[in-house]
Amino acid sequence: MVSLAMKCSHNILLKDTLLSVNKIFPGRCAAKGYSNWRKFSSSASSRSSDPPAADTGGSVDIVGHFDRLVQSGSLRRDDQQRLVLQRLAQLKHRLKTYSNSIYLNPPAEKPKQDKDEPQNDDKSFTVDAEKEEPLPPPPPKGFYIYGDVGTGKTMLMDMFYSHVKNSCKKRVHFNGFMLDIHKRIHRRKQSLPKRRLGKMFTYDPISPVAMEISNETCLLCFDEFQVTDIADAMILKQLFETMFKTGVVVVATSNRAPDDLYKNGLQRDTFLSFIDVLKEHCCTICLDSGIDYRGLDKTAAGKLYYLTWEPGAEAFLDTLFKELTLRQKSATGPRVITVLGRDVTLQKTCGSVADCTFDELCGRPLGASDYLEMARLFDTVFIRHVPMLTLTLKDQARRFTTLIDNFYDNKVRLILLAAAPLDRLFVHTGGEDERDRQLLDDLGLSGEAAERLSLFTAEEEIFAFQRTVSRLREMQTESYWMEGDRSYRKRHMNI
C-alpha cells in the first residue's frame, strides 16, 4: 500500500526535491481557479516597491485586469466581486498622491491676544491676523469587506494593494498586526524609568504607539480582521481613533460584520464604541455570493490528508518525510526556536521540514507569535494525530485555527494525519469542563454567563473553524503547493 501511494503522489509532492516545476506540471502553470490567482496576488502584494501597473487615471487598470483574468478563464465571472473592485479602484486613484503628513503635523494654534495689549490700527494687518488657516480635507474613507469564507475578499484586497502607487503602504494579517502592537507597547513600558517607592505615576503608551504606526504608513490593509482577545478589545478604540485622526486609511477583510465583532465577549460593552469609530471611517461592504471559490480548484497535489485508521498511513508519512528531506543540508533532530524570550522545542525537524504532533503545536500554550516564527523557518510541516476537536478541546481548536491562519498566510505546506475527515474534524459536542468552572469562579460569574459568553460557548471557535476547513482544502491543491515551493521562488528571484 505504501509503495502504491508513493507512486500516485510522488511526482506532485517531491517536485522541490527531485524535479523542476516545469517538468512536473507541463503546461499547467496557468491552472484555473481561485488558488491560481492567490499565487499571483500575494507575490505582487508582498513587494510594495515593485513597478506599479499602468494607470489611466481611473479604474481601468484594476477592473480591466480583473476582466482579463475572467476572459482568460483564470477567474470565474462574479458581478459582486467586480462591483467591490470598482469601489476599491476609486480609492486607489485617490491614494496615488495621498499623504497623511498634513494630519500628523496640524497647523499650530495662534496665541490668543492679551486684552491689555494695544490694538493695532492697521486694518490690513488686522484682517490678515484674523484669517484662519483652512482645515485640511478629511482623509479618504477606507473599506471593511466582510462575507462568508472563500468568497474572494482577500483576493480583491491583494489586487487593490498591488496596484496602489503609494510607497507608504503595508499589508498584514490582523494577528500579526496586533502582535506588533503589543510588542511596541511592551517596549515603551520597558523604557520608562523605574518607579521609586511611594512614587506613583500613570503612563498610557497606546496613543504614542498609534502615532508610530501613522508615521510609518498611510495605508493599512488587514486580512482576517477579528477580535477574540479581551486585551486586543480593550485597546482597539484608542489605537484606531488616533490612527484615523492622523490620516491612516484602512482596508480590511473579515468573516464578521462590524456589529458582530467580539460578539458575546467579556466586557463587550466597552468595545462597542470602537465599532462606531470603525464604521465612521470605513465603508462597509458585504461580499457574499454563496460560493466558496477555494473548493472549486479540484486539482489536488497528491494525497495530503490521511486518517489515523487507514492501513499504512503512518508508514507513508515516514517515507514521505525521508524523501522530502533528501536534499536538506542538515541532519534530522530536535530544534529549539526562541520566541519573545521563550524556548519552544520541536522534536523532529530537518532543514525547512518539520514533523510534529498535534500536541506539540496545539497542546501547549503557544500563540500566533510562535506560529509565525515556525512559518518563517519551515516551508513544509507534518501534523500527526490531530484529534476530533470537540467543544471540550476549544483551547486546542483555537490554537489550531490560529496555526492554520498563519501557515496559510505564509504559504506553508501541510501534510496531516487526523482522526476524522476534514468536514467532520470539528464537532459541536462536549462543553463545560473543570477549567471552565474554575474560570467562572475566578471571574465571579454565574453559571448563566457560561451559556452566553463566547469564552465558554466556543461560538467564536465554531465560526472560525469554517474558515479553517476552507483553507485546509485549498492547502491541498496543486497550485497552493506550487506557490509554497520556496526553493522554486528563490531560483526565479535570482534569475
Least confident segment among 44-58, 80-94, 308-322, 411-425: 44-58
Q: What are the pLDDT digits (tens) for 443-484?
A: 455 555 444 444 444 566 677 778 888 889 889 988 888 888
Q: Are 465 and 228 in contact (CB under 8 A)?
A: no
pLDDT of residue 74: 84
How far is residue 253's CA from residue 161's CA, in Å, rounded to a whole number? Answer: 13
pLDDT at 38 over 70: no
pLDDT of residue 142: 96
How far is residue 494's CA from residue 389's CA, in Å, rounded to a whole number? Answer: 43
Q: Is 299-493 in the same CATH topology as 34-102+137-286?
A: yes
* CATH 3.40.50, domain 299-493, yes or no: yes
* CATH 3.40.50.2000, domain 34-102+137-286, yes or no: no
**What does the buried/exposed string (b/e) look like for 285-302 if buried means 16 or more CB atoms within 10 Å of the residue's CB?**
bebebebbbbbbbebebb
Query: In 325-454, where do the E strands start and end?
Result: 333-339, 342-350, 353-357, 380-386, 413-418
| Total-model pTM | 0.68
Q: What are the pLDDT digits (tens) for 344-368?
A: 999 999 999 999 999 999 999 998 8
pLDDT at 393 over 90: no
The DSSP symbol for 390 reads -
Domain extents in the chain: 34-102+137-286, 299-493
Q: Name the residue among 21, 166, 8, 6 with its Cα closest to residue 487.
A: 21
pLDDT of residue 17: 42
Phi then psi dihedrals of residue 486, to 5 deg: -70, -35
Which of the given ranges, 36-40, 126-130, 300-304, 435-439, has the highest pLDDT on average?
300-304
3-state DSSP call for residue 325? coil
| Tally of CB atoms within 10 A around 8 | 11
Measured over the CA atoms of residue 456, residue 462, residue 465 and residue 467, the dihedral's sign is negative
Q: How far apart are the first and last CA of the chain?
A: 41
Q: What are the pLDDT digits (tens) for 300-316?
A: 667 899 999 999 999 99
Between 425 and 291, residue with greater pLDDT: 425
